[in-house]
Structure 1
Amino acid sequence: MFEAADANDQVSLVINYPVTHPGSQLDNGAVVPGYLAPEDVEFSPPEIRKKYEAEYGQYEIYPAYGTDDNPVKEYTNVARHRRDMARFLDERYDWDLLAVQFQVTDSIFHDLDDRDQIRQVLENVDNFVGDIIDLKKDDADVFIASDHGMGDYEWTFYVNSWLAENDYCETTTGEEQYFRQAKDELKGKNGSNESSSIVSAVGTAASALSAVGLSPRRIHQGLGAVGLDKTVERLLPEDALVAAQNQVVDHENSVAYQLLFNSLGIHLNVEGREPNGQVSPEEYDDVREELINELSQVRDPDGNLVFDEVLPREEVYEGSHLEDAPDILLVPRDYQYDVSGSIVDTFRRYPHKNHKPKGILISNRDLDIDSETGASIYDVAPTVAAALGLPVDTETDGEVLGPFEADERVDWDEIAGEYREVSDSESGPTDDVEDRLADLGYME
């Protein structure tokens, strides 16, 4: 979006958006990278960071996740930098597009349990959003959108464990890369903390027990049989439990597996597509249909179905990159189930909060959204583009909402081409971003 605006000689200010590093070198604006960038990343233009920090203090991309000191202060401070950066750039640019992303409104639900603390952070962010809106020109269009909602989850379903129990997946001993560990690395931490000795001890014990045939999964199941599994989970820190889960998928010898940690997709290991495929192209349809039918009937320990739908990818995706999609897509019942790739017991009752499919879209314009069908997240980009008078991307799945009209449609890849070439040559290869996505569990 901001590259298309820049190509149209409009001024864009982009603050904290994910995957904006390596960043585009705009002719008419500024980019402050967000999620997946290292904490000490260079801004664009480069001098912005030094000037900002001389006035407002050190800019922080990431909070200290799970901090025990003062989490409300920590998360609020990170969010404050978004507001302060908007003010800082507003004083220096006559902008057409000001886009600000608040990552903490997501992370607090994953990292905090105290509802009052969560509410305090959200109220502070709400005030910051109001301050940013006050920067707008009198006739400016305002859009506030979330990419998903948040709500209560009751269970974690360990799909690779289920696949292993049902002879689709083989496992081996190894070390998994976990989300929190990768986020600490982006923050610049060296991994040393008070619980590291416990983590090391549990990991060593897990390896020793595995050597004599007692896997962490079998131990967890045995503890559950005598009612001690939840006690152990409560007393040991999360990182220690992660260390004990030292079984991972043996991809080469498996028929199917969840490839990306905590995704809602199952990949089949297909001959000619994967390096060590186990499923022939002739068997593919039958194996996939069998697996879809079995997953559709999975029930939790209370007897409730886990999935509302289990779908072949063709019913969800289309286009030239269909082959890159998971072979099977999972839709949890009422989104009350996390689907995890850890190899432990098949189910864990784990009340917590996580992503829900329905988010928010607020505007100072009448977007004429049907109360029954609602809008789609795909509608946001074309609507904002139309509001700016930009051509809408020909590759978008969304529609222009409300009073706005799109006079032209253009492939944004063509518009963005020159910016990406500059980004790759001056800011480093996109392999850096792909490596960070893999570290965080989004890619393999």
Structure 2
Amino acid sequence: MFDFFTRDGYDKRLIERPDVDAPYLFEAADAHDRTSLVVNYPVTHPASRLDNGAVVPGYLAREDASFYPEHLREEYENEHGEYRIYPDYGTDDDAVAEYVDVARCRRDMARFLDERYDWDLMAVQFQVTDSVFHDLDDRDEIRRVLENIDEFVGDIIDLGDDDATVLIASDHGMGDYDWTFYANSWLAENGYCETTTGDTQYFRQAKDGLKGTDKDSTEGSVLETAIETAASTASAAGLSPQRIHHGLSRVGLADVVERLLPEDALVAAQNQVVDYPNSTAFQLYFNSLGIHLNVEDRDPAGTIPQEEYEEVRAGLIEKLEHVRDPNGELVFDAVRPRENVYEGEHLEDAPDIALFPRDYRYDVSGSILDMFRRYPHKNHKPEGILLSNRPLNVDGQAEIYDIAPTVAAALGIPVDANTDGEVLLDKKEIVERENWDERCDEYANEQSGEDSSSVEDRLSDLGYME
């Protein structure tokens, strides 16, 4: 997996558990007769059918996703009311209360499951510690949300006995970003990417969709409607949104327009999409920091002959390495071929080129607008946090890969022989290893086949979808 999406040719769909071609830690624990309680972890739908324990799906699942065992949702909601996976992003009401209420569901679910299971592993994920930084600007409001979640984490830790091992980890950090770099616009400007007028399907902002209901398509602000009409008229006259934006930039008005227009109005103005079959290169996954090449005999309508692939890719990498923002600063610390970043049997699924933004201060967007937009905001940083009540043996810096083997060792089960991570706990005995793929293949599920459009709306509201 390289994004929230997987691809079939040029088409994309949101990923589900069966798309992840590896066992999950809690599945390995279940195979060793440990009881796991898993609450709100991403891409855990359809829920694995554990012999021991329970799974409450999280991010990318539909709001009405089934739990496992199936009776858990009904029993929980009879006691605690509605269980919610997603907050109402961008709510006009009390945003702090909205986020805290959703986070409280995690704490209450942990307590609910603790009463019903003699568990070995309790794993609870708080997604809103990420989304508050995408949705809120007020530092005091963000702090109030985080303080409440800190309290909920303490309540969950109290469910363990005195000798329980506790690990608190984040999968990334948060920090300041300055710019958005529109990769497909740059590729179009440099002759790699063709565009066409199309459906702006990745710009849906309907908040009602967060709860699995569709907003009336006739609704929307007068300004948004006016912008959409203007964009269509300009497009018919041969003026694309990026050309309009570029013209405003030349006369010093682009920043003024962006400051005065709400985000949804800017979104409505975008009516250009990538013409994938006729392009040489494009950013297909908007969250992968990667560029795909369109290769003959590999992609459905490939334009690059196989024998020219390496030359075309090397030339594009060199150009991307020298891209500078309007202030003259380099955009990327590194631009690398995929085989220098990834390895393994799914290397062919990776983007052909991997992008590493300078100091992670640049979003890389696939929208067709001008090449740059000045956009100070908060977004993901590579370094997160790791806390424990146990001494950790960290040589240099811990990695996200270290979490699964460390928890496996704490549970007293063999560590996956294929892991890139290390056991961080100070364990004197030799850690046993086994192939989790062979041990856990019975946990594979079939695709759910459920409509994921409401989930895409949630991603759109957080800026993950373009």
Instruction: Give the shorter-chain TM-score range.
Output: over 0.9
Gaps of 5+ in 2: 1-24
Pick aligned residue for 1:391 from 408, 414, 419: 414
Give the corresponding residue for 1:378. Answer: 401
- For residue 240 of structure 1, report the CA deviation from its aligned partner: 2.0
Q: Deviations over 1:108-147 (max 9, x none)?
A: 1111111111111111111111111111111111110011
Letter in 1 for 2:125: Q
Residue 70 of structure 1 deviates from its aligned partner by: 0.5
Cα distance in 2 for residues equivalent to 1:185 and 1:347: 30
**Alignment-derived partner of residue 245 in structure 1:** 270
Distance in 2 separating the partners of 1:19 and 1:332: 26
The letter for the 2-side match of 1:376 is E
Q: Which residue in 2 is equivalent to 1:319? A: 344
Q: Deviations 1:146-205 (Å, cap 9, x if unpaired)?
A: 110000001111111111111111111112333764885352131249635543442233
Change (3 A) 1:146 1:236: same
TM-score, normalised relative to structure 2: 0.89
Task: Assess, with a 3 A threshold, how the Cα gap between structure 1 residues 101 and 5 changes in structure 2: closer, same or farther.
Answer: same
Paired residue for 2:145?
A: 121
1:235 deviates by 2.9
CA contact (8 A) 2:203 2:267 kept: no
- Relative to structure 1, the CA distance from residue 95 to residue 406 in structure 2 (aligned partners, 3 Å threshold; closer, same or farther) is farther
Contact 2:337 2:354 in 1 (8 A): yes
Pick from 264, 276, 291: which aligns with 2:316? 291
Aligned-partner Cα distance in 1 for 2:367–2:176: 21
Equivalent residue number for residue 92 of structure 1: 116
Q: In structure 1, what is the equivalent of residue 65 of structure 2? A: 41
Q: Which residue does 1:401 correspond to in 2?
A: 424
Structure 1: how far apart are the matches of 2:344 and 2:364? 26
- Counterpart of 2:170 (choices 142, 146, 149) is 146
Q: Give 2:93's match in structure 1, choosing from 52, 66, 69.
A: 69
Query: For the residues of structure 2 that align with 1:123 and 1:315, how far apart are their CA atoms?
Result: 41
Give yes or no for contact 2:47–2:66 (8 Å, CA) kept in 1.
no
Letter in 1 for 2:62: P
Q: What is aligned with 1:3?
A: 27
Aligned-residue RMSD, C-alpha = 2.2
Deviation at 1:430, TM superposition (A): 4.6
Give how far 1:105 is off. 0.5
Q: Secondary structure at the match of 2:113?
A: helix
Q: Which amino acid is 2:220 matched to?
A: S
Q: For 1:282, what is the secondary structure of its paired residue?
A: helix
Q: Which amino acid aligns with 1:202?
A: I
- Superposed, 1:177-256 pairs within 5 Å as 177-178=201-202, 181=205, 185-192=209-216, 195-256=220-281
CA contact (8 A) 2:182 2:371 kept: yes
- Counterpart residue number, 1:328: 353
Residues in 2 aligned to 1:119 and 1:287: alpha-carbon distance in whole angstroms: 48
Q: Percent identity?
A: 70
CA contact (8 A) 2:62 2:212 kept: yes
Aligned to 2:183: 159
Aligned mate of 1:27, from 48, 51, 59: 51
Contact 1:390 1:406 (8 Å CA) reproduced = no
Q: Structure 2 CA distance, aligned partners of 1:185 and 1:3? A: 32
Per the alignment, in what secondary structure is the counterpart of residue 59 of structure 2? Answer: coil
Partners of 1:338 and 1:260 in 2: CA distance: 13
Seen in structure 2, the aligned counterparts of structure 1 residues 395 and 204 have a Cα distance that, compared at 3 Å, is farther
